Structures are given as C-alpha cells and as structure tokens.
Amino acid sequence: MWTQLRTLSKENAEGVAQHLVMVAVRLAENELDGALAHAETAVRRAGRVPAAREALGVVAYRLGDFARALAEFRTVRRISGSAHLLPLMVDSERGLGRLDRALELAGSPDAKRLEPSEQAELTIVVAGVRRDLGQFDAAILGLERAAYGPPRPWSARIYYAYADALVAKGDLEAARRWFAMASAMDSELETDAAERLDELDGVTIIESDAGADASTDPDTDPT
C-alpha cells in the first residue's frame, strides 16, 4: 500500500492510509456504513491509487452493491495490471445474475495469472455459478479436484464448499465427512463447518436465557 501512496504528498498519503486502515477495521467489525464512508473519502483523495479503489470495491461487494463493486474492481485491474481481484469480479457478475458472463470471465487469460490461493477462491466461486445454473455435477467436479489435493492454508474453505455442494446434490453422508474435515482445518473459524456438521448429525443447540427471572428457579428463595 505504501508504495502506491508514494505518488501522493506526504500529508495526503498519511491521511489516505489512515482511512484505508479504518476501512479494514470497520469491515472486521461488520460496520459497513462506516467502512463505506472511509473508503469513499480515500477514493476522493486518491482516485488513482489501486488500494483505495480496491477498498471501495470490497465494501460495495460486502454491501451487495455488485455493480459498483465490479466497476471498482475493473478500475483496479486497469490501473494496476493485477488480476488478483478476478474471483470477486466473477462473483459480482454472479450477484448481478449474469452467470454466462461470470463463467466467461472465469475462463479468461487473467485466470491463469492468479496465485494458488486466488485460484482456490475462483474455484469456489465458479462452483457457485454452476450450482446457480443447476449444473450440480459440474460444481462438484470442479471442487473435487481441489479438495483431493494436498492440504493448503485455504483447504478449509475448499472442503466446506465441496461439502455444501454435496448437500445440494443430496449426498449427506459424504457431505458430513467433508464438513468434519473443514471444521478440523478451520482454525481461524472462517466457516460455520462445525455448525453444519451438527445440523447433519441432528444436534440442536439451545442457548440458555441468562436473563431469565430468578423467581422461575425452584431453588431460588423469593425472599
């Protein structure tokens, strides 16, 4: 990020950097309106800085404003030459209901330039597009290739997507195995694999009512 900000004055670079940090903080807190305000300010102050445009695109994506997200991601690709946002671009096309365009973009030459972790994300997104098209076998096949490979830092997400696709097809026994693997690999709790596993096992979690009236407790002395 700092390399990109070198084109700005020192004062402006520091201000933009602070806004970009706050975008990350607000996103982590799921305060999307606050994240949007910081991202828009960063773009107003540094519209030619890829990191600023990417931040705005990510916030728009999280808000479900896929048209705006896609426009920002395209701008990042144009001014930076990087294809790393391709999975989000494909998913934005999916969000807009343009499934054929999503698959076309996923098969573009830029896809071959992605890092392995980005390739994994693209695989997950494409599987979702295939499911939207009713192509469940194709979705499963695409994820299967990645799922049966050597474990990687992103394997939990691949396993989860594969299990979810198996559920959609009705293969609950196989889905359970892959949700269990996803849960075991998901040390960062990026997925709800453990909860999905409980659902398949018929486990119901009942949260206690900490605020219940003490008078309902038979062991509580009302005096």
| pLDDT tens digits for range 149-161 | 899 999 999 999 9
pLDDT per residue over 27-73, tens digit each? Answer: 999 999 999 999 999 999 999 999 999 999 999 999 999 999 999 99
For position 57, what pLDDT does the model report?
98
pLDDT per residue over 58-67, tens digit each? Answer: 999 999 999 9
Q: Residue 213 pLDDT > 80, yes or no?
A: no
Rounded to two decimals, what is the model's pTM? 0.86
Cβ-proximal residues to 204 (8 Å cutoff; 6+ apart), any chain: none
Give the number of other Cβ atoms within 10 Å of residue 79's Cβ. 14
Instruction: Categorize the per-residue pLDDT at 7 as very low, low, confident or very high, splitting at 50, 70 and 90.
Output: confident
For position 110, what pLDDT does the model report?
93
47-50 contacts at long range (C-beta below 8 A, 24 or more positions apart): 48/7, 48/79, 49/4, 49/5, 49/7, 49/8, 49/16, 50/4, 50/76, 50/79, 50/80, 50/82
> How many Å is the maximal CA-CA distance in the chain?
76
198, 184 Cβ separation under 8 angstroms:
no
For position 206, what pLDDT does the model report?
57
139, 165 Cβ separation under 8 angstroms:
yes
Instruction: Categorize the per-residue pLDDT at 4 as very low, low, confident or very high, splitting at 50, 70 and 90.
Output: confident
Integer Cα distance of 223 and 217 in angstroms: 13
Sign of the four-CA dihedral 135, 136, 139, 142:
negative
For position 161, what pLDDT does the model report?
97
For position 211, what pLDDT does the model report?
47
Q: What is the DSSP letter of 83?
A: -
For position 214, what pLDDT does the model report?
44
